[in-house]
């Protein structure tokens, strides 16, 4: 089997450019990359047909080995049709992305980010002062029958909020407890990713 | 005349249905009748094909009158016909569910009327991939189903679906390009794309070339089957699609990839050259997948991760390359298609009833709708592999195969399989406890639909929902129940099904029935017994 060197070099260049382009974040470039990859593959299939020969139209005088191999060409035709359909569909999607979001970039998955930024910190177990996250808050009754659990040492009510150190920063205990729960709405994230 | 010669109808009927439903795009009632009718007909035909494969063994149909190594062939053997029957039964149930949803919501606009033709094309592509006896025709089957799936994935063109669709399309196209490159290289090395012919000619190549082609094909199919390092795209893209679409994707599309991997391993590259990497990949797929599932709070995403995880079981069975392992893998594929699809359909119902698919917003569903709880509980326990369900039987088969092989890696897989099964139980139990058992008030961010008391519902926040749409339409519950019953039937008839999988596995490892059905009786099959059937 002989190989056409020009075809091979062109194929290699197409693959290189295609792979470079699909690694981009811009959808149009990704599409161009996919088109280059598809065409490089078509050249590869063509190369498997061996040396160029006569068109595979049957005539009695031509010996069989003079013909070109027709099968790879049939395969290429099919793959061209398929990549045509996919390209058209991708263009539709890219246009739709533009209409919806006015941007041509691949966007991050919001749910994915939410799971990623859910802290592994558990206010009940990991804090220096364990936070009370129970739904039955502890109440202490004084000798007069009144609730004393919220009073300071001097007996008067304090407006001091219990804090604890979580993940290197100080935050209210209630806040930390809420953040520890899955699906916390306290954790916000920017659309570009990375979280706060 | 043999019934197997009608095999192409399994592809032609859905395509015909797609054309008809496309013509009837303005008449949704006729559309539904045509698509359900033709799919039922296809299912009946495929049951006959399964019966003929069970009685008469492997049969091949040549298309267009070309002699086998040159023309396109379709091969009906026990494995492919079993896959056909299970996939068509599942897609029929999902179709009924989808029409129920359409009728309940009163959808008559353009995006939904395109659903029927696209869905039938998807079914045709799946059938074509299962029946194909030709590597390039397998590629065409993949492309048919993928192109249809792109449309279904982005149905309606909303923001999240387009975002998920982009990832899905790009990853699928890259895997298709890899597959095409592999086909080109196979053709360059052997001069044929017919799988039976390849089974003979690939054996004559030197080991290096063989391994390269083998790895190329496995990577291409591995992306489609969502095997661990190549599974990143699945949990991102599947959950955003409409419930019936996610259900059918989860059930069928990855399994087509698994089917192609099984064919590659048994027919094209027999022996155990790549078994060690496959075992490692299977172990990682099971564990990483299920650990991902535990971190999720959205049921659809959680199920997508369990889907990835349980693909690992099938690769586990395949990597054993023994008759026991392969039989268990075949059984597991049939079980998993049914169970995973029914779980996704139930999640669609949960979303309708509870207003959300996030477990942080759900609660009290067991009291609100005991039927829904039952429909979730049975396939959930089945997925986790609680005896006596079919999930347990399939896993026992796999564990037996692992112990039989007896290498340290096989034992690691056995342990990993058990751990994954327990973690699946944990994941399912968490959904159960949070969405079904606790009171709605205990949910972190309870959905207003759940908090509305029956009295308040007349004028409360749930009233609008209640008046405009039926929360649980009978067709949707009915089709889901049908699928759950099918899953239970797989348990009840596990004996015959395991016998069938066993025969399918033996035939695949033997290779002679397949090759002789395609190329004729007189063909000598090289290395028949050395192929791994002995172990």
Position with higher pLDDT, B523 vs B486: B486
Is 50 exceeded by the pLDDT of residue B458?
no
Measured CA angle at B342 (ends B336, B45), to 5 deg: 75
Q: Domain boundaries in chain A? A: 5-101, 112-189
Residues of B in contact with A101 (CB under 8 A): 159
- Minimum mean pLDDT range among A109-113, B288-292, B501-505: A109-113
Instruction: Look up tokens 């083998």; give the residue.
Output: B214
- The nearest alpha carbon in chain A to B139 belongs to A79
Split at pLDDT 50, 70, 90, the class of B107 is: low
Which pLDDT does position B179 carry in this prediction? 94
By Cβ distance, the residue of B136, B162, B444 closest to A100 is: B162
**Cα of B123 to nearest chain A Cα, Å:** 18
Which pLDDT does position B286 carry in this prediction? 93
Contacts for B339 with CB less than 8 Å, ≥ 6 apart: B379, B382, B383, B390, B391, B487
Contacts for B529 with CB less than 8 Å, ≥ 6 apart: none
Position with higher pLDDT, B114 vs B304: B304
- Minimum mean pLDDT range among B33-37, B232-236, B329-333, B454-458: B454-458
Q: Are B491 and B393 in contact (CB under 8 A)?
A: yes
Position with higher pLDDT, B535 vs B305: B305
Q: Which of B340, B452, B454 is nearest to B93 (CA)?
A: B340
Mutation target among A11, A41, A70, A184 for the B interface, most CBs of B within 10 A: A41
Q: Are B62 and B101 in contact (CB under 8 A)?
A: no
Give residue B95's Cα distance to chain centre.
15
User: Is the CB of B143 less than 8 angstroms away from the CB of A82?
Assistant: yes
Which pLDDT does position B362 carry in this prediction? 84
CA distance B474 to B455: 24
User: Is the CB of B167 less than 8 angstroms away from the CB of A106?
Assistant: yes
Predicted confidence (pLDDT) per residue in A37-79, tens digit: 999 999 999 888 777 777 777 788 878 777 888 888 889 999 9
Alpha-carbon distances, residue B173 vs A82, A88, A108, B158, B393 (angstroms): 10, 13, 20, 22, 36
Calculate the average pLDDT of chain B. Answer: 86
Residues of B in contact with A111 (CB under 8 A): 239, 298, 301
User: Is the CB of A75 less than 8 angstroms away from the CB of B163?
Assistant: no
CA distance B182 to B245: 30
Calculate the average pLDDT of chain A. Answer: 74
CA distance B456 to B66: 71
Residues of A in contact with B188 (CB under 8 A): 1, 47-48
Predicted confidence (pLDDT) per residue in B195-238, tens digit: 998 988 888 888 899 999 999 999 999 999 999 888 888 888 88
Which pLDDT does position B307 carry in this prediction? 94
Which pLDDT does position B346 carry in this prediction? 93
The structure's pTM equals 0.84
Both tokens assigned to B160: 């999240």
Q: Which of B117, B153, B106, B93 is nearest to B18 (CA)?
A: B117
Position with higher pLDDT, A133 vs A44: A44
Which pLDDT does position B463 carry in this prediction? 43
- The nearest alpha carbon in chain B to A83 belongs to B173
Residues of B in contact with A109 (CB under 8 A): 163-164, 236
Split at pLDDT 50, 70, 90, the class of B361 is: confident
**How many inter-chain contacts (A to B, CB under 8 Å) are there?**
101
CA distance B250 to B343: 10
Residues of B in contact with A37 (CB under 8 A): 174, 177
Is 50 exceeded by the pLDDT of residue B466?
no
User: Is the CB of A78 less than 8 angstroms away from the CB of B140?
Assistant: yes
Is 90 exceeded by the pLDDT of residue B32?
no
* C-beta neighbour count of B415 within 10 angstroms: 12
Work out the percent of chain A whose per-residue pLDDT is above 70.
59
Which pLDDT does position A133 carry in this prediction? 58
Which pLDDT does position B535 carry in this prediction? 34
**Cα of B69 to nearest chain A Cα, Å:** 12
Position with higher pLDDT, B461 vs B487: B487
User: Is the CB of A109 less than 8 angstroms away from the CB of B164?
Assistant: yes
By Cβ distance, the residue of A71, A82, A93 closest to B165 is: A93
Which pLDDT does position A142 carry in this prediction? 60
Which pLDDT does position B222 carry in this prediction? 93
Give residue A166's Cα distance to chain centre.
29
Segments in B57-158 forming alpha helices (H): 78-105, 110-113, 115-131, 135-153
CA distance A21 to A44: 19
Q: Are B308 and B393 in contact (CB under 8 A)?
A: no
Residues of A in contact with B360 (CB under 8 A): 181-183
User: Is the CB of B298 less than 8 angstroms away from the CB of A111?
Assistant: yes
User: Is the CB of A106 less than 8 angstroms away from the CB of B180?
Assistant: no
Work out the percent of chain B whose per-residue pLDDT is above 70.
93
**Cα of B177 to nearest chain A Cα, Å:** 6
Interface residues from chain B to A (CB-CB < 8 Å): 136, 140, 143, 147, 150-151, 154, 157, 159-160, 162-167, 169-170, 173-174, 176-177, 180-181, 183-185, 187-188, 193, 236, 239, 295-298, 301, 358-361, 444-445
Is 90 exceeded by the pLDDT of residue A140?
no
User: Nearest 5°: phi and psi at B61?
Assistant: -115, 125
Q: Which of B123, B112, B111 is nearest to B32 (CA)?
A: B112
Residues of B in contact with A82 (CB under 8 A): 140, 143, 147, 176
DSSP state of A181: S
* Mean pLDDT within A159-164: 57
Residues of A in contact with B170 (CB under 8 A): 22, 30, 34
Q: Which of B238, B484, B498, B282 is nearest to B381 (CA)?
A: B484
Segments in B269-389 forming alpha helices (H): 275-294, 299-320, 323-354, 365-368, 370-384
CA distance B364 to B373: 10
CATH placement of domain A5-101: 1.10.287
Position with higher pLDDT, B205 vs A118: B205
Residues of A in contact with B143 (CB under 8 A): 82
Mutation target among A115, A178, A180, A181 for the B interface, most CBs of B within 10 A: A115
- The nearest alpha carbon in chain B to A91 belongs to B166
Predicted confidence (pLDDT) per residue in A162-193, tens digit: 666 655 666 666 665 555 555 544 444 444 44
Interface residues from chain A to B (CB-CB < 8 Å): 1, 22, 27, 30, 34, 37-38, 41, 44-45, 47-48, 71-72, 75, 78-79, 82, 85-86, 89-90, 93, 96-97, 100-101, 106-107, 109-112, 115, 118, 181-185
Give residue B293's Cα distance to chain centre.
18
What sign does the dihedral B117-B60-B250-B477 (CA atoms) show?
positive
Position with higher pLDDT, B452 vs A31: A31
- The nearest alpha carbon in chain B to A95 belongs to B162
CA distance B383 to B491: 12
Is 50 exceeded by the pLDDT of residue B114?
yes
User: Is the CB of A48 less than 8 angstroms away from the CB of B174?
Assistant: no
Indicate the helix (H) or strand (E) that contains A93. helix A70-101
By Cβ distance, the residue of B166, B170, B187 closest to A72 is: B187
* Mean pLDDT within B521-529: 67
Which range of A120-134, B304-318, B357-371 scores highest in mean pLDDT? It is B304-318
Residues of A in contact with B169 (CB under 8 A): 86, 89-90, 93
CA distance B249 to B94: 10
User: Is the CB of A183 less than 8 angstroms away from the CB of B358?
Assistant: yes
Which pLDDT does position A60 carry in this prediction? 82
User: Is the CB of B140 less than 8 angstroms away from the CB of A111?
Assistant: no
**Cα of B228 to nearest chain A Cα, Å:** 18
Position with higher pLDDT, B62 vs A40: A40
DSSP state of B249: I
Is 90 exceeded by the pLDDT of residue A155?
no
Which pLDDT does position A132 carry in this prediction? 58
Residues of B in contact with A112 (CB under 8 A): 236
Work out the percent of chain A whose per-residue pLDDT is above 90.
27
Mutation target among B66, B146, B173 for the A interface, most CBs of A within 10 A: B173
Split at pLDDT 50, 70, 90, the class of B94 is: very high
Q: Are B129 and B143 in contact (CB under 8 A)?
A: no
- The nearest alpha carbon in chain A to B293 belongs to A115
Which pLDDT does position B441 carry in this prediction? 79
User: Is the CB of A86 less than 8 angstroms away from the CB of B169?
Assistant: yes
User: Is the CB of B177 less than 8 angstroms away from the CB of A34?
Assistant: yes
Both tokens assigned to B64: 């267009």
Both tokens assigned to B74: 């379709």
By Cβ distance, the residue of B177, B185, B301 closest to A111 is: B301
Both tokens assigned to B532: 């791994």
Please provide the DSSP assignment of B417-479 as one string.
HHHHHHHHHHHHHHHIIIIIIS-GGGSSS--HHHH--TTGGGTSTTHHHHHHS-SS-HHHHHH
Alpha-carbon distances, residue B54 vs B78, B79, B496 (angstroms): 6, 10, 11
């Amino acid at each position: 089997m002989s190989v056409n060197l020009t075809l091979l070099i062109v194929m290699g260049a197409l693959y290189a450019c295609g792979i470079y382009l699909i690694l981009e974040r811009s959808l149009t470039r990704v599409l161009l990359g996919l088109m280059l990859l598809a065409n490089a593959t078509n050249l590869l299939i063509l190369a498997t047909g061996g040396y160029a020969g006569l068109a595979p139209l049957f005539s009695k005088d031509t010996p069989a080995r003079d013909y070109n191999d027709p099968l790879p060409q049939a395969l290429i035709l099919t793959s061209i049709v398929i990549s045509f359909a996919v390209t058209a569909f991708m263009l539709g999607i890219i246009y739709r992305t533009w209409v919806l979001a006015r941007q041509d970039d691949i966007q991050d998955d919001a749910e994915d980010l939410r799971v990623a930024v859910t802290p592994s910190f558990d206010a009940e177990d990991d804090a220096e002062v364990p936070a009370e996250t129970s739904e039955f808050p502890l109440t202490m009754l004084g000798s007069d029958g009144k609730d004393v659990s919220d009073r300071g040492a001097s007996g008067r009510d304090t407006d001091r909020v219990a804090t604890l150190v979580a993940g290197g920063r100080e935050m209210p205990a209630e806040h930390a407890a809420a953040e520890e729960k899955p699906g916390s709405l306290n954790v916000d994230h920017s659309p570009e990713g990375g979280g706060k | 005349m043999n019934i197997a010669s009608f095999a192409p109808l399994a592809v032609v009927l859905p395509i015909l249905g797609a054309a008809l439903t496309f013509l009837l795009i303005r008449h949704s009632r006729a559309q539904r009748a045509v698509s359900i009718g033709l799919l039922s007909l296809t299912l009946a035909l495929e049951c006959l094909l399964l019966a003929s494969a069970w009685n008469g063994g492997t049969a091949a149909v040549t298309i267009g009158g070309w002699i086998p190594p040159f023309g396109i062939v379709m091969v009906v053997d026990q494995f492919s016909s079993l896959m056909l029957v299970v996939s068509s039964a599942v897609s029929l149930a999902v179709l009924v569910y989808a029409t129920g949803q359409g009728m309940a919501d009163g959808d008559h606009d353009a995006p939904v009327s395109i659903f029927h033709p696209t869905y039938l094309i998807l079914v045709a592509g799946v059938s074509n991939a299962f029946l194909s006896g030709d590597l390039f025709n397998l590629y065409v089957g993949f492309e048919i189903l993928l192109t249809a799936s792109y449309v279904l994935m982005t149905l309606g063109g909303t923001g999240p679906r387009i975002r998920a669709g982009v990832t899905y399309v790009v990853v699928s196209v890259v895997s298709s390009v890899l597959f095409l490159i592999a086909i080109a290289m196979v053709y360059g090395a052997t001069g044929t794309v017919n799988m039976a012919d390849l089974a003979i000619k690939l054996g004559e190549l030197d080991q290096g070339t063989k391994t390269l082609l083998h790895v190329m094909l496995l990577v291409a199919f591995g992306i489609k089957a969502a095997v661990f390092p190549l599974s990143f795209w699945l949990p991102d893209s599947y959950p955003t699609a409409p419930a019936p679409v996610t259900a059918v994707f989860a059930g069928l599309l990855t399994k087509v990839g698994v089917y192609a991997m099984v064919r590659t391993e048994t027919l094209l590259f027999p022996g155990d050259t790549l078994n060690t990497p496959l075992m490692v990949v299977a172990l990682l797929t099971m564990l990483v997948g299920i650990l991902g599932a535990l971190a999720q709070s959205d049921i659809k995403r959680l199920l997508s991760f369990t889907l990835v995880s349980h693909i690992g079981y099938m690769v586990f069975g395949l990597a054993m390359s023994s008759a026991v392992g392969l039989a268990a893998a075949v059984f597991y594929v049939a079980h998993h298609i049914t169970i995973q699809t029914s779980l996704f359909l139930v999640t669609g119902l949960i979303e309708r009833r509870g207003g959300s698919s996030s477990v942080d917003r759900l609660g009290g569903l067991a009291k609100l709708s005991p039927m829904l709880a039952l429909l979730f509980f049975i396939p959930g326990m089945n997925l986790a592999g609680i005896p006596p369900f079919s999930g347990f039987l399939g896993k026992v088969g796999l564990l037996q195969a692992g112990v039989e092989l007896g290498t340290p890696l096989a034992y690691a897989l056995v342990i990993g399989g058990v751990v994954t099964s327990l973690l699946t139980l944990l994941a399912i139990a968490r959904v159960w406890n949070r969405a079904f058992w606790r009171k709605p008030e205990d949910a972190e961010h309870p959905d207003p639909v759940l908090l509305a008391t029956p009295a308040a519902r007349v004028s409360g926040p749930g009233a609008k929902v209640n008046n405009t749409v039926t929360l649980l339409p009978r067709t949707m519950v009915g089709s889901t129940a049908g699928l759950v019953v099918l899953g239970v039937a797989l348990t009840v008839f596990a004996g015959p099904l395991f016998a069938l999988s066993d025969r399918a596995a033996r035939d695949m490892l033997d290779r002679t029935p397949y090759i002789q059905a395609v190329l004729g009786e007189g063909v000598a099959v090289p290395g028949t017994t050395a192929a791994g059937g002995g172990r």
